[in-house]
């Protein structure tokens, strides 16, 4: 099948990683967290990074999200090499295009649910009335209209994570990164949270990159990138997701050839 044109946006690589390497120094020791990673992620795709503890998943996600710099290699997001950006430009780029969901929710304890969700809009300079309206809509979308005034300590883990998700999506980022977003939740709540994240992302064709060691979560993704010892071990197209994985037919990335030819 012929690859669709970029003009309809459907085959655009929103993330392009080339020969990424990350080495940490701890005293005299070198830790190779990522060895040599090349990967393309398409707009609107749900990509899961799956691997055991210490395999390098969080390091890879943090590099993609601009939270850390690579030792070597390039990270292009929307065509821009983010590893070359100044801190100021990167901060603005992240505010405009990226959202984050953390395992430990990372909500500010003194702020209400509504205020926590509003934070990204405050940083973007959105006026009060508009951001309250938008934050309310997001809280409604995650089923927490009744908890606007609750502080994090007055909510369950699943509710706190739903606030975290509302905050990640409130500014309509093109890409949402999540590191073990259900790591602290039971399996029923995990299912609810995964269904919520995927529904929100599909509504606006947002790209999702989720780190997990959990096969149940990986099952929601279009593509599962297996990470082993800082490298891509294989890439699986998830045909069992159903409905929305037609990209798989057009994808020239196979499990034996993680990098498209000619790059």
Ligand X SMILES: Nc1ncnc2c1ncn2[C@@H]1O[C@H](COP(=O)(O)OP(=O)(O)OP(=O)(O)O)[C@@H](O)[C@H]1O
Specify the residue, 13 or 58, whose C-beta has the smaller distance to Mg ion.
58
CA-based diameter of the chain, in Å? 54
Q: Which one among 78, 150, 213, 241 touches ligand X, defined by CB under 6 A?
A: 213
DSSP the chain: -PPPPGGGSTT-EEEEEEEEEEEEEETTEEEEEEEEEEEEEETT-EEEEE--TTSSHHHHHHHHTTSS--SEEEEEETTEEGGGS-HHHHHHHHHHHEEEE-TT----TTS-HHHHHHHHHHHTT--HHHHHHHHHHHHHHTT-GGGTT--GGGS-HHHHHHHHHHHHHTT--SEEEEESTTTTS-HHHHHHHHHHHHHHHHHTT-EEEEEES-HHHHTT-SEEEEEETTEEEEEEE-TTS-SS-THHHH---BTTB-S-TT-
- Tracing tokens 């080339």 back to the chain, one arrives at 18
Question: Quick one: tokens of 243?
Answer: 């409905």
Per partner kind, with CB cut-offs from 5 to 8 A, the member of Mg ion, ligand X, none near residue 4 is: none
Specify the residue, 103 or 159, whose C-beta has the smaller distance to Mg ion.
103
Binding flag, residue 116, ligand X (CB under 6 A) = no
Q: How many residues bind Mg ion (CB under 5 A)?
A: 1
Closest approach of ligand X to the CB of residue 24, in Å = 3
Closest approach of ligand X to the CB of residue 176, in Å = 18
Closest approach of ligand X to the CB of residue 203, in Å = 29
Binding flag, residue 239, ligand X (CB under 6 A) = no
- Tracing tokens 């940490």 back to the chain, one arrives at 24
Closest approach of ligand X to the CB of residue 33, in Å = 3
Per partner kind, with CB cut-offs from 5 to 8 A, the member of Mg ion, ligand X, none near residue 181 is: none
Binding flag, residue 58, Mg ion (CB under 5 A) = yes
Q: Which one among 7, 8, 26, 243 touches ligand X, defined by CB under 6 A?
A: 26
Binding flag, residue 55, ligand X (CB under 6 A) = yes
Give the pairing of strands 98-101 and 80-81: unpaired
Q: How many CA atoms lie within 13 A of 8 on its CB side?
A: 5
Per partner kind, with CB cut-offs from 5 to 8 A, the member of Mg ion, ligand X, none near residue 31 is: ligand X
Question: Binding string, 13-52, against Mg ion, x = CB under 5 A?
Answer: ----------------------------------------
Closest approach of ligand X to the CB of residue 30, in Å = 9
Region near ligand X per CB under 6 A, out of 26-34, 110-118, 149-157, 161-169: 26-34
Closest approach of ligand X to the CB of residue 103, in Å = 8
Give the footprint of ligand X on this chain (CB under 6 A). 24, 26, 31, 33, 51, 53-59, 213
């Amino acid at each position: 099948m012929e690859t669709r044109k970029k003009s309809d946006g459907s085959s655009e690589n929103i993330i392009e990683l080339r020969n990424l390497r990350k080495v940490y120094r701890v005293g005299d020791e070198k830790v190779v967290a990522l060895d040599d990673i090349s990967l393309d992620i398409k707009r609107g795709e749900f990509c899961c990074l799956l691997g055991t503890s210490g395999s390098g998943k969080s390091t890879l996600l943090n590099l993609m999200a601009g939270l850390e710099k690579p030792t070597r290699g390039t990270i292009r997001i929307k065509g821009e090499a983010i590893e070359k950006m100044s801190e100021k430009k990167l901060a603005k780029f992240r505010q405009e295009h990226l959202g984050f969901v953390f395992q430990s929710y990372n909500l500010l304890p003194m702020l209400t649910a509504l205020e926590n969700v509003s934070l990204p809009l405050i940083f973007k300079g959105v006026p009060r009335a508009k951001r309250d309206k938008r934050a309310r809509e997001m809280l409604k979308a995650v089923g927490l209209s009744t908890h606007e005034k609750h502080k994090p300590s007055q909510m369950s883990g699943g509710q706190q994570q739903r606030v975290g998700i509302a905050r990640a999506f409130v500014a309509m980022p093109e890409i949402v990164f999540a590191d073990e977003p259900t790591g602290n939740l039971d399996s029923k709540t995990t299912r609810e949270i995964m269904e919520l994240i995927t529904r929100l992302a599909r509504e606006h064709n947002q790209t999702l990159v989720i780190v997990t060691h959990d096969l149940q979560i990986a099952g929601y993704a279009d593509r599962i990138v297996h990470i082993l010892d800082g490298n891509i071990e294989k890439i699986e197209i998830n045909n069992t997701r159903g409905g929305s994985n037609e990209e798989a037919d057009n994808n020239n990335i196979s499990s034996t050839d993680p990098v498209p030819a000619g790059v």
